[in-house]
Amino acid sequence: MQWSQDVNNSKGNQVRIAFDGDAVLFSEESELIFKKHGLKAFEEHEQKNRDNPLQMGPFAKLLQTISTIQKKFKDEESPIRTALVTARSAPTHERVIKTLNVWGVRVDEAFFLGGSEKYEILEAFGADIFFDDQDVHLKLSSSVVPSAKVINKNVENTEK
């Protein structure tokens, strides 16, 4: 089956799925520290816990399932391509990479944006769908890719 290129910005015959990290693939633990105590406390927490894998978030099982499918194909032949698109940056990326390795999952591309806008990366990646928990990111991303909000009852959404 051939997909029409005018439906979205999809790249070829792969389904491209992009995920945010905290409170989506990973638990909300680190995001709550950031929201309550700020960037410095978040960075200190992540450095202190860099060798402790993050707990699974609401979409971790989906990523694991996709990874299981991907393992049945050579990289370039996989019908699914995944990306992690997160506001994290160095040095907090270290814990994320170690977590994915412990989980044994494959993420084809990882973007640690340090607060830069996600929508440009999503458009360049050719995402067919993007999952995030924050309205501020979804407002812009939805202009270039279908975007879905991940509801996490434990994270207080203080955005307007």
Catalytic residues: 20
CA distance 44 to 41: 5
**Vertex 53: Cα angle to 153 and 101 (nearest 5):** 115
The sign one gets for the Cα dihedral 58, 52, 93, 99 is negative
Locate 44 and state its tokens. 């200190």
Let me know: does 80 contact 14? Beta carbons within 8 Å.
yes
